[in-house]
Amino acid sequence: MTNKNSGFTRMAKAASRFTGRPLCFGLAVAVVLVWIVSGPIFKFSDTWQLVINTGTTIVTFLMVFLIQNTQNRDTQALQIKLDELIRATQGAHNALLDLEELEEKELQEFQDRYEALAEKARNCGPEDEDDSGTPEVDADQRPKPAP
């Protein structure tokens, strides 16, 4: 595997690391304090208010894309790690590897199966075999996509 990330990925990671630090928060607070202190100098004019409104809007707009990029990358990496755990676990159902690709109805069917399994485990005694282990869930019978 190569570790050559695109320019955007490198920039997004660097920006995420920077903006998540206390120093960045401190800088943002300092900017707001400077803006507040400058209010009397500019007689609290419409332009003075427009400066902070425009600045915060631009930063918020850019941060939405940065946060989404970071969230997408983290989610994808986590999904791959979970897929590997499923793949490497003896007796695990490989049909669960790509659940994120299923339709809502199909996901609900899988969730119902696991909720029923949890309910069964809650209703049995501590010595009961259904309380632990790896009970069979008919996950290999993947739901058919809706027409």
In a domain, 1, yes or no: no
Same domain flag for 16 and 69: yes
In a domain, 65, yes or no: yes
Confidence label for 143 from pLDDT (cuts 50, 70 and 90)? very low
Residues 76-119: tens digit of each pLDDT: 999 999 999 988 988 888 888 888 888 999 999 999 998 998 88
Q: Considering 70, 88, 106, which residue would you say is the last residue of a domain? A: 88
Same domain flag for 107 and 84: no
Residues 51-79: tens digit of each pLDDT: 999 999 999 999 999 999 999 999 999 99
Same domain flag for 84 and 109: no
In a domain, 2, yes or no: no
In a domain, 53, yes or no: yes
Same domain flag for 15 and 80: yes
Same domain flag for 142 and 73: no
Same domain flag for 80 and 104: no
Same domain flag for 80 and 121: no
Same domain flag for 59 and 79: yes
pLDDT at 40: 95
Q: Considering 49, 70, 88, which residue would you say is the last residue of a domain? A: 88
Measured in degrees and rounded to the nearest 5, phi and psi for residue 36 equal: -65, -45
pLDDT at 124: 80
- pTM (global) more than 0.85: no
Percent of the chain past pLDDT 70, that is, above it, reads 82
pLDDT at 104: 93
pLDDT at 136: 66
pLDDT at 9: 86
Q: Are 24 and 15 in contact (CB under 8 A)?
A: no
Same domain flag for 84 and 38: yes
Domain that holds residue 22: 7-88
Same domain flag for 112 and 129: yes
Percent of the chain past pLDDT 90, that is, above it, reads 53
How many domains does the chain divide into? Answer: 2
pLDDT at 21: 94
